[in-house]
Structure 1
Amino acid sequence: MATIAEALSHAAGLHQSGQLDEAEIIYRRILDVDGGVAAAWHLLGVVHAQTGRFGDAADLIGRAVALDGAVPDYHLHRAMALESVGRLAEAVDGYRTAHALAPALADAAFNAGVLLDRLGRADEADAAYAAALESNPGHARAANNRALNRRAAGDPAHALALLAQATAAAPDFNEAWLNRGMMLAAQGNAPAAAAAYARAVALDPANAAALEGVGRTLRAAAPLRRAVRLASRETDGLEELAAAFAAADPAGVMPAAFRAFPFLFRDGEAAGLAAAAGHNAAIGPLPVAAGAGLDTILTFWGGQPPRPAVRLALRSMVAQGHPVRLYSYDPVDGLPAGVAWADARTVVDEEVYRRCVRGADIRFFSDLFRYRALHRLGGWWLDTDMVLLRPLRFATPHVFCTQWGGAAQGHMVVNDAIRAPQGSPFLEHLFTESMRALDRGGPVPFGAAGPLLLTRELLAGAGRDLLAGVMPPMVFNPVDWTRHAGLDTPGAEHRDRIAHPRVAGVHLWHGMWGPEGPPVDAARPGGILHALVQRFSGSDPVSAVDPSNSR
């Protein structure tokens, strides 16, 4: 009879060879015999993570941590699972613990920094990147990300030194060369900036489109930097912002996108709701001819029963009269009536999904899936935490949405709501670029297939002719992710915000609340969330799977 150690070794061999089902059976048998084997809990959790069951993975590896908290990998792998289910603050703690136990794990400190940036804790993120670089001075991504933080903190000299460190450590890291070019340009060092940009284009010719007009804009670099700095914070003066951009481009030669775009993403929040009108004639929702049909709404869910906030959002979409089609790789239980399930394999091969899951980045998959779905089918894409307040009738065939903050990180256009016609060349381009980033391998920057890609391509890339369809944040993101708690805060100012005629939907920022999402079932009276629950309350009879929608 095999000992537990022998059984564990055999199971680990099966695991390493990719026989995950067989390994899982043996891990469970070991734990049936002795529930105190921390390594078995850990490896069982890793199997769950590799097969997309991240919530269970976090719980299982948590058992290993409870039994033996001195093993760095336990904390590291649990943090990865926690991150995948949106429990970001807990994931940060896990990454930090892993790095403290094993300072050589520079990636653990780097991952903590990435999540701290997402949580808006910039100073802590900066310290985490510094810790990663102390462990590994050649960690190019840590140097690049810390450079962005130092630039935002008003320390450009240190930022440039960090980017030099990043490009020295990874000469093929084109993102660092792009950032280095931008910072050199902002200091007025045109020759060095041009050389950095040239290096970025040589590494990836797709960068050439994003750099059109750089030579013209270098002359205005210093005032442009001031204008962007103003745009990236919540200034109360649109007049000040307008003056800054006018100073940046006195001859009017700067690409129109750079002059107009800040008004799109600052509009409303900066100067109050009354200022939302007047800056962009295409701002919607705009009416269409009477009797026109409503576009189908496409969305995706990862397979487990949808959370209360997701059911609320889906009910709201159905309530506005739109056909709603939810894609997944397995049938989803508990869908509200009116929501048709469709097989995601008809849009993107399941192996692409598995590749993204193995890399613990389901967000990246969601980005590329929406581009392919919209290109092939047309209509609307809405995230499953977007509560829809009115039917979507827009005059422009392409519609994109923005958020209040994120300018300093390049996250201005977000993709929680997109409209596109069937066969859109731009959506095909976005899918191609996303797959290219996936196929390059290695770590993928946050937003590389989402906000970063969309912002770049709409400002100065393949989508620069579609700027008329870029909506201000009021339309779909009236409450920023950094203020998501305001959704459950009583007060007239919050209710008034979603009553504004420009608001078509309310993004609930599901992942910011933890694995269960916002407290839909315990929303506080007088807040936005409570008002939405009351408006779209109702039971959730399961909608039948409709094979005709599985094309």
Structure 2
Amino acid sequence: MRPDVVTFWHGPLDALRLTCLRSQVAAGHKVTVYSFDPLAGLPDGVGNAEAEAILPHSFSERLRPPQPDGSWRDWTILQFSDFFRMRLMAEKAGLWLDADVLLLRPVELDPAKPYFAWERPRQLGNSVLYLPPNDPIVTAFENLMKQDELTPDWLALRHRLTFMLRQLSGKSKRLSDIRVAIFGPAALTALARRGGELQHALPKQSFYAVHAEPKLFFEQTDFSALLADPQIIGLHISPKGRGGQRPIPGSLYAWATERFGLADLPSPGGGG
């Protein structure tokens, strides 16, 4: 099955993300970006849906208080999107792709089975994610969201100790403050291990071939082997603030913008 693609974004989209969304449409997927405010300049074939219907904006305040002007603080966007993708799984919305996943070929999956890949040794990535709505990972997140404290029962011992020390010292009473990815890849990995689902994980090369080495995407290099590798379905890119910069000639980014259409360079935002 070729699934619909869904993601979440908060703020304006930069050129890199627009290029990646175009690549997802070019691969033959229906693509929908959820947001709280309308997104201007979305590529043809990309829809925009109301995020409030999936996970209320007010949920963000359970992660951390907003700024005085109401805007979200530091890690809020990333952690909110960790919960948002699980809510989309519960709603049978489709395959989650981060907005900075460049698809090189269509994604085909079995809707009865999980779909994810190793990001690095012993840790799954959650930038590419599909789970059946009755999957135990989805259920675990749904149960977690019913708690006021948002303290997972799958939390690693080192994180429990860190959280306890922060509580005792008065530094924080929120688990969300101890680590930006506390509800992200590590949580997915722990739950997949607990549910015996690691067997479904695709190899790292399928989506994370350049994730840890963004220079392979942004700098001039010979990327022919990446494009020719049949194992690579897409590339999750870690832009490190470079999503709004113009591509360097001879880079994989320059190839992607030419292949999928060079976008204008709006200001960066945040999200999935």
Instruction: Give the match's secondary structure for 2:95.
Output: strand
Matched residue, 2:53: 346
How much has 1:431 moved relative to structure 2? 4.0
Which of 78, 84, 90 pairs up with 1:369?
84
1:467 match = 198
Could you tell me which of 251, 255, 259 is aligned with 1:527?
251
Paired residues of 1:376 and 1:423 also in contact (CA < 8 A) = no
The answer to whether the 8 A contact 2:247-2:254 is kept is yes
1:484 aligns with 214
The CA deviation at 1:355 is 3.8
How far does residue 539 in structure 1 lie from its aligned partner after superposition?
6.0
Task: Tell me if structure 2 keeps the 8 A contact 1:379–1:419.
Answer: yes
**1:210-260 Cα deviation digits (max 9, x unpaired):** xxxxxxxxxxxxxxxxxxxxxxxxxxxxxxxxxxxxxxxxxxxxxxxxxxx
Aligned to 2:169: none
Correspondent of 2:125 among 414, 417, 428: 414
Q: Could you tell me which of 204, 213, 230 is aligned with 1:501?
A: 230
Quote the residue 1:427 is aligned against: 138
Which among 160, 169, 192 is matched to residue 458 of structure 1?
192
What is the CA–CA distance in structure 1 between the aligned matches of 2:198 and 2:138, rounded to whole Å?
14
> Take 1:448 and 1:437, find their aligned partners in 2: how far apart are those partners?
16
Partner of 1:102: none
Tell me, in whole angstroms, the C-alpha distance in 1 between the residues paired with 2:65 and 2:27.
37
2-side partners of 1:358 and 1:499: how far apart? 47
CA contact (8 A) 2:7 2:97 kept: yes
Q: Deviation digits for residues 428-474 of structure 1, max 9, x if unmatched? A: 32343366585354224232111111111122x1x31x223211111
CA separation of 1:477 and 1:453: change in aligned 2, threshold 3 A:
same
| Structure 1 residue matching 2:120: 3-state secondary structure | coil
Distance in 2 between residues matched to 1:437 and 1:414, nearest whole Å: 26
Alignment of 1:537 with 2:268, yes or no, is no
Query: Does structure 1 residue 401 correspond to structure 2 residue 117?
Result: yes
Aligned AA for 2:118?
T
Please say if 1:331 is aligned against 2:38: yes
Structure (1 or 2) with the greater helix fraction: 1
Structure 1 distance, partners of 2:145, 2:203, is 25
1:381 matched to 2:115? The reply is no
Secondary structure at 1:358 match in 2:
coil
Alignment of 1:117-128 (within 5 A): none
Deviations 1:273-324 (A, max 9, x none): xxxxxxxxxxxxxxxxxxx5x211110000x221101111111111111111
Which AA in structure 2 matches 1:486?
A: L
Kept after mapping to 1: 8 A contact 2:14/2:244:
no
Opposite residue 299 of structure 1, the aligned amino acid is T
Question: Counterparts of 1:42-441 in structure 2 under 5 Å?
Answer: 292=1, 294-302=2-10, 304-356=11-63, 358=65, 360=73, 361=75, 362-395=77-110, 397-404=113-120, 407=122, 412-433=123-144, 436=147, 439-440=150-151, 441=173
Aligned in 2, Cα 1:437/1:316: closer, same or farther, shift over 3 Å? farther
Residues 356 and 495 of structure 1: CA distance in aligned 2, closer, same or farther (over 3 Å): farther
1-structure distance, mates of 2:58, 2:126: 23
Q: What is the RMSD computed on CA atoms of the aligned residues? A: 2.3
Which sections of structure 2, spanning at least 5 residues, go unmatched?
A: 67-72, 152-172, 265-272
Cα distance in 2 between the residues matched to 1:504 and 1:530: 19
Deviation, structure 1 residue 375: 1.4
Counterparts of 1:480 and 1:539, CA distance in 2: 22
Partner SS, residue 351 of structure 1: helix
Q: Deviations over 1:363-407 (max 9, x none)?
A: 1111011001111124200001111111101347211122235x5
> Are the aligned partners of 2:30 and 2:46 in contact in 1 as well (CA < 8 Å)?
yes
SS in 1 for 2:220: coil
Change (3 A) 1:451 1:390: same
| Alignment partners' CA distance in 2, 1:497 and 1:437 | 45
The count of corresponding residues between Structure 1 and Structure 2 is: 232
Q: 1:219 corresponds to which residue?
A: none
Q: Which structure shows the bigger proportion of residues in strand conformation?
A: 2
**SS in structure 1 of the partner of residue 91 of structure 2:** helix
Contact 2:211–2:237 (CA under 8 A) maintained in structure 1: no
Shift of 1:348: 0.8
1:347/1:530 CA distance change after superposition, 3 Å: same
Identity %: 28
Aligned residue identity for 1:370: R
For the 8 Å contact 1:404–1:480, the answer to whether it is kept is no
Give the structure-1-normalised TM-score.
Answer: 0.39
